[in-house]
Structure 1
Amino acid sequence: MAEQLRKYMEKLDDLPPFIRKNAEEIRELDEKVEGIMRVIEARTVAHVKNLKKTPMEQRVKWYKEVQALYKEADKLSERKVKLAQKMYDTVDMHIKEMDQQLVEFQEFQVKKYNETQAAKAGTSSSDNQKRKGSVSAMKTDKRKKPGDPKAARPDGASFVHTFKPSAITTVDMPVDPNEPTYCICHQGFSEVKFP
């Protein structure tokens, strides 16, 4: 079990540099997109002021230039979304692996605990008969109910009964309000939805 944990920790060593690299690339792409949007805004303001004086050919040329800039910004934004999705998927995969490792580790602990308890109690048939007799004695004794906290229990029995490996379930992470946005509208979280 310790060997599995060591191998998994080695796999996790690559995660922070991966996230840092992708976050820096997203930041660079975001700066480029914002620069393009500023250029579009400046050109639009300049052309709107002179719209009546501008000939039709010049308007068409300006329209095509702005359209090309929007396409470039859109391409960069799609790249940002893909990088963010790649980061999310990688982190999610590691979280799921950790959850699985945790379940396996807890099952391993319960198995070892049960083996230890069986070794302490002995596995001879006479011991089994004694245990069966004590269970039937507990059933007939109305004062000691199995759910009664004052009822006599063997050492560590409360640990075994409180552990439920099926209680661990995988849950999707809720949207973090501090999560950065990945679109130019600054409102999208994780998934960017277009109308």
Structure 2
Amino acid sequence: MADLDRRAGDLIKRIDECVKDYRKSERKDERISLFKESMDLFDKARSFADDKIDLAKQTYDLVDKHIRCLESLNGAQPISETNGTTSSNDKKHSSNKTVANAGAFKTTQEPIAVDMPLDPNEPKYCTCHQVSFGEMIACDNKECPIEWFHFACVELKTKPKGKWYCPECFNINKKGKHKSAKRQKT
């Protein structure tokens, strides 16, 4: 992968040189030659990008294969895609911890659309029923059916101090307190 990046970087530098020479050139035949050369270099760079996408797909498939193998060896139940939540046996409960997606990074270029299928076994989180991405927070209710939430979906910008409950668990706790207060009055 690093070799492909290096080779693509070299091509881009050469393309930049061709463009500069093209702008400086006054001879029509030289401009045509430089234009053709830059187009050939663009095609090679596109080929390197396609190779990187293929390599990423192969890596993804290999990781998925190993996950399935480990699940079968450990007798683990694959996560169901039907309801988008994990069972309480599959959860690793951590109170008030945030999770950052290690693969997330910012780029200055527009992303290239890749027709990679989403892994049906990848767990879904939050009220948006999406996979893990960005910063996330766990609900402190041990019985929370969802458990993990994206900061943006629960309108958080920073990790709150103390215990944090998702909107659903907060409302359940709030209703439970009102019911217990009514019971005490009667």
TM-score (norm 1): 0.41
Which protein is richer in strand relative to its size? 2
Which protein is richer in helix relative to its size? 1
Higher relative contact order (CA 8 A, sep 6+): 1
Structure ID, larger Rg: 1
